[in-house]
Chain A
Amino acid sequence: MSSVPENHTPGESVTGYSVAHDEEAVVIVGSGAGGGTLAYELTSKGIPVVVLEAGPYLTHDEYMNNEWESFNQMAWLDPRTTSGSWRVARDFPNLPAWIVKAVGGTTTHWSGATPRFKDHEFKARSVYGRVDGANLLDWPIGLSDLAPFYDRAEKAMGSTHVHGRPPLPANNNYKVFANGAERVGYKFYATGPYATNAEEYDGRPASIQDGFNFQGDKNRSKWSTLVREIPRAEATGLLDLRPNSQAVQITHDAEGRADAVLYLDEEGSLHRQAAKIVCVAGNSIETPRLLLLSATPSFPDGLGNSSGQLGRNYMRHLTGTVWGHFEEPVRMYRGETMAGMIGDESLHDPDRGFAGGYYLETISLGPAFMAAFVEPGTWGPDFAKLLDAYTNSAGMWIVGEDMPQETNRITLNTTLKDKNGLPVPNVHYDDHVNDVAMREHAYAAGEKVYAAVGARSTHRTPPYPSTHNLGTARMSERPEDGVVDRWGRSHDVKNLFVSDGSVFTSGAAANPTLTIVALAIRQADYIAEELKAQRI
């Protein structure tokens, strides 16, 4: 496994290949699900790319099977602020999102769940109707546009349950979850699809069920761009990868075309990389932040923001956790952290009192994270009991569609700056009444599942800092409704692309990574064709 060579020059490539700073390059900001995939797809078509990654080049051997040590090693801990009525603003005011700052981005931390969007979830406005306070909009694409790319993404990631990949075995947490699901009458439960190998596939070994996943998978059984796309892009000889290089501004020429990316290395020195195409994939907080930081007299509200929608419609999925406490041991921490899914509630059924649907997925935390997250801010005998029940606990996570709202947004907090003197991002979020209704329904559904297999008590844990950050540079058919078009190409700046979950027009119930990867593969095909036809 390659890592950073000794005597490496800050802000320069760590691969054997490098592009001159004044040579107009395809520059990708970020190396996670979107950026890492795009880098591999483009280099495999013979197109050289420069990848600017804000975080370090950690390798699988360096990962730590310890929750806090790993958190300090991988998590994006740069200062951020929060506002709004969401509970995260109270519990974790300086950690709105739980994402990764390292090569491979948040694919190194993700759980691995790979459900697809449903057809109607691309038409949220048409199907859900007018929902007060929600800024719903249909995607400019549908499931049929994305289906072939879902296939390619699932094969690349090795999703279980599809394309001949076998399911993961039932672990202890799943046994409780699935038996409960069966007893309450749910049908569509299974151990996947998850992009973690049940058997060796694509050069990656089968899971050894080591119980660590959010901490990076030392065993390399879980798909990430660090295990697959980055090394393969490097092997093409066309990847210039610059870790510890944080993009701080995209500049443009007199014609309004992006012409360079300015970035800081780990020593705080500023570099400039000339660009013919810029693809931003910094996750849904840093992507709008970078574009907002790139405002100029020609683009006074931020680069590519003629619609005013940049940074708005921030979505983070419903989320919530239900724990069940049983008479007998569960030992949920043994085995894959997430390897179970109930899909029965993922349908759109307004008779439940809300639009959209949700999945229930198994989850496990160690005692360190359990103490920090199970009921933030509390203490005393009731709190202690939640930990005393640890061995006999089973857990499930709620992932449901939240409503896009214009007022839920990323802005630059001009009263606070980071160590580079740049304004920190503020994340404002208010739960929509639809979100609250769905979360209540999901908590109750989870409790029923555990009660059906004899839980002596259950506990509702509020949302963790957001792992699914979406929607802040939404796709739209019309330029006035969103930031990018159906290809993720800026409506305003023709050689500017957004390549991450920021482009989601609406959130759907599904975990977003598979869709981000599918969109990136599709975008890579498009960019390659446009380059060939000299339309960029």
Chain B
Amino acid sequence: MVFPAKYPSLNATEMTEEARQTLIRVLRVAFPHQCVPDGPYERTADTILTEAQNETWFRVALTQGLLSLNQLSDGDFRSLDDAAALRVLRRVDGTEFFGFVRRTAVLNLYDDAEVWTALGYEGASFDQGGYINRGFNDLGWLPDPRVEFPEGETMPEIAPGATGAPRPAAGGQKTDSTNQPGATSSDMEEVKK
């Protein structure tokens, strides 16, 4: 085990291609979408590396984290199958390293046009006149519902008898006193049948 934060010289380090490949694998396992091609995962890994380049602490955490992954994998994290890789990631779930990777990935991976296409999202439409003539109401597997409230009926405001009822159960869960159990507590003693 090494502790990079102890060594100021590590401020001058850079990530290797192996680190990048490991990171891409981490993203694939943590956010597994069969429909998403490699490009977005690679771009997200690069975003993480760029942010790590700008922030010493992130770089140190990332260095340490990638090292830990290999240690937990008995060698090379990249050689693990999906299930084994997922188990390793679950073990580092609470680390600074993984939190940083997760936060950055959630913000960037899903803000990628290629991911949008893969998930079936068409994005901005203003320049194309909106969706008004491009399927905003093309759902055909359910009947067309009414769009107005039922005519001649008034939405009920207070349930019948509500004003005369005692105060709601949710508000009254406190025991009134030590010898008077509250409405929702039970008085447990010897059970006689």
Residues of chain A touching chain B, judged by Cβ–Cβ distance below 8 Å, are: 65-68, 118-120, 127-134, 161, 167-172, 174-176, 178-179, 182, 187-191, 207-212, 218-219, 328-331, 333-335, 343-344, 346-351, 353-355, 366-368, 370-372, 377, 379-381, 383-384, 387-388, 390-391, 433-434, 436-438, 453
Q: Collect the chain A residues with CB atoms within 8 Å of residue B102's CB.
A: 377, 379
B9-17, B62-70, B106-114, B185-193: which lies at the A interface? Answer: B106-114
Q: Chain A residues near B32 (CB, 8 Å)?
A: 380-381, 384
A-B contact pairs, 20 of them (CB 8 A): A127-B158, A132-B172, A161-B148, A182-B145, A189-B145, A191-B147, A209-B136, A210-B124, A212-B124, A212-B126, A219-B126, A330-B139, A333-B122, A335-B131, A351-B162, A370-B110, A371-B107, A371-B110, A372-B107, A384-B31
| Distance A219 CA – B109 CA, assembled complex (angstroms) | 29
**Contact status B159-A371, CB under 8 Å:** no
- Contacting residues, chain B, for A380 (C-beta < 8 A): 30, 32, 86, 89-90
Proximity bits, B129-160, A CB within 8 Å = 1, else 0:
11110111111011111111110010111110
Q: Closest CB-CB distance, B153 to chain A, in whole Å?
A: 7
In the complex, which of the residues B35, B149, B166 contacts A161, with contact meaning CB atoms closer than 8 Å?
B149
A368 touching B110 in the complex, CB below 8 Å, given contacts A208-B130, A211-B125, A218-B126: yes
What is the CA–CA distance of A97 and B122 in the complex, to the nearest angstrom?
28
Contacts A176-B139, A350-B165 hold; do A343 and B155 have CB atoms under 8 A apart?
yes
Q: Are A208 and B168 in contact (CB under 8 A)?
A: no
A433 / chain B contacts, CB cutoff of 8 Å: 170-171, 173
Given A179-B145, A182-B145, A368-B111, also A351-B165 (CB < 8 A): yes
Given contacts A176-B139, A187-B153, contact A210 B110 (CB under 8 A): no
B159: contacting residue among A219, A333, A348, CB under 8 A = A348
B34 nearest in chain A by CB position: A388
Q: Is the CB of A65 within 8 A of B158?
A: no
B121 touches A208 (CB 8 A): no
CA–CA, A68 and B116, complex, Å? 14
Q: Using Cβ atoms and an 8 Å threshold, which residues of chain A touch B165?
A: 350-351
- A366: which of B121, B129, B150 is its contact (CB, 8 Å)? B121
Instruction: Say yes or no: A171-B137 contact (C-beta < 8 A), given A212-B126, A381-B32.
Output: yes
**Shortest distance from the beta carbon of B90 to any chain A beta carbon, whole Å:** 8
CB distance from B125 to the nearest CB of A (A): 5
Asked if residues B171 and A167 are in contact (CB atoms below 8 Å), the reply is: no
Q: How far is the CA of A404 from the CA of B105 in the complex (A)?
A: 37
Residues 167 to 186 of chain B near chain A (Cβ within 8 Å): 167-174
Given contacts A334-B136, A384-B32, contact A176 B170 (CB under 8 A): no
Min CB–CB distance B119 → chain A (angstroms)? 4
Q: Is B115 an interface residue (CB 8 A)?
A: yes
A408 to chain B: closest CB distance in Å? 16
* Interface contact A65-B125, CB-CB below 8 Å: yes
Chain B residues in 8 Å Cβ range of A344: 155
- The answer on a CB contact under 8 Å between B163 and A127 is yes
Q: Which B residues are within 8 Å of any A CB, using their own CB?
A: 30-33, 35, 86, 89-90, 102, 105-107, 109-111, 115-116, 119-126, 129-132, 134-139, 141-150, 153, 155-159, 162-163, 165-174
The 8 Å CB contact of B156, one of A328, A330, A347, A387, is A347
Q: A211-B130, A380-B30 are in contact. Are A128 and B168 (CB under 8 A)?
A: yes
Partner of B119 from the list A208, A335, A350, A367 (CB cut-off 8 Å) is A367
Q: Pick the contact of B86 from A119, A169, A178, A381 — CB < 8 Å?
A: A381
- For A65, what are the chain B residues with a Cβ–Cβ distance below 8 Å? 123-126
CB atoms of A174 and B145 under 8 A apart: yes
Inter-chain contacts of A387 with B (CB < 8 A): 33, 110, 119
B138 to chain A, nearest CB (A): 7
Evaluate contact between B157 and A391: CB separation under 8 angstroms.
no
Nearest chain B CB to A92's CB is how many angstroms away?
12
Residues in B with CB closer than 8 Å to A391 are: 119-121
By DSSP majority rule, is chain A's interface helix, strand, loop, or mixed?
loop
Contact partner of B148 (CB less than 8 A), chosen from A119, A190, A335, is A190
Q: Are B115 and A367 in contact (CB-based, < 8 A)?
A: yes
- From A134, A334, A347, A383, contact of B31 by CB (8 A): A383
User: Given B30, B139, B159, B174, which contacts A331 in the complex, CB threshold below 8 Å?
Assistant: B139
7 additional A-B pairs beyond A130-B167, A172-B138, beta carbons within 8 Å, are A120-B157, A188-B149, A208-B132, A218-B126, A328-B141, A354-B168, A387-B110
Name which of A133, A209, A437 has the most chain B CB atoms within 10 A of its CB.
Answer: A209
Contact A175 B139 (CB under 8 A): yes
- Report yes or no: B134 in contact with A334, Cβ–Cβ below 8 A: yes
Q: Which residues from chain A contact B170 at a C-beta distance below 8 Å?
A: 353-355, 433-434, 436-438
A457 to chain B, nearest CB (A): 16
CA gap between A495 and B35 in the complex, in Å: 62
* B126 contacts across to A, CB distance below 8 A: 65, 208, 210, 212, 218-219
Q: Are A179 and B142 in contact (CB under 8 A)?
A: yes
A363 CB to nearest B CB, Å = 15
What are the residues of chain A within 8 A of B159 when measuring CB–CB? 347-351
Task: Please indicate the chain A residues that have their CB under 8 angstroms from the CB of B131 in the complex.
Answer: 208-211, 334-335
In the assembly, what is the distance between CA of A9 and CA of B159, in Å?
Answer: 58
* Complex contact B137–A172 (CB within 8 A): yes
* Other-chain residue from A67, A133, A208, A328 in contact with B129 (beta carbon distance below 8 A): A208
Query: Which residues of chain A are near B142, meaning CB under 8 Å?
Result: 175-176, 179, 453
A129 to B166, CA, bound (A): 8
Name, among B31, B107, B136, the residue most crowded by chain A CB atoms within 10 Å (CB to CB).
B136
Contacts of A120 in B (CB 8 A): 157-158
Least CB distance from A235 to B in Å reads: 27
Whether B155 lies near A367 (C-beta < 8 A) is no
Give the residues in chain B near A219, CB-CB below 8 Å: 126, 130
Give min CB distance, A157 to chain B, whole Å: 19
Which one of B121, B147, B158 contacts A170 once the chains associate, using CB atoms below 8 Å?
A: B147
**A118 adjacent to B86 (CB under 8 Å):** no
CA distance A353 to B166 in the complex (A): 11
B124-A171 in contact (CB<8A) = no
The answer to whether B145 and A118 touch across the interface, beta carbons within 8 angstroms, is no
Whole-angstrom distance between the alpha carbons of A330 and B139 in the complex?
6
Q: How far is the CA of A388 from the CA of B149 in the complex (A)?
A: 34
- Distance to closest chain B CB from A372 (angstroms): 6
- Complex Cα distance, B145 from A175, in Å, reads 6
Kindly identify which residue among B130, B138, B157, B169 contacts A353, using a CB–CB cutoff of 8 Å. Answer: B169
Contacts of A187 in B (CB 8 A): 150, 153
The residues of A that contact B122 with a CB separation of less than 8 Å are 333-334
Contacts of B135 in A (CB 8 A): 172, 331, 334
From A161, A347, A354, A379, B157 is in contact (CB under 8 Å) with A347
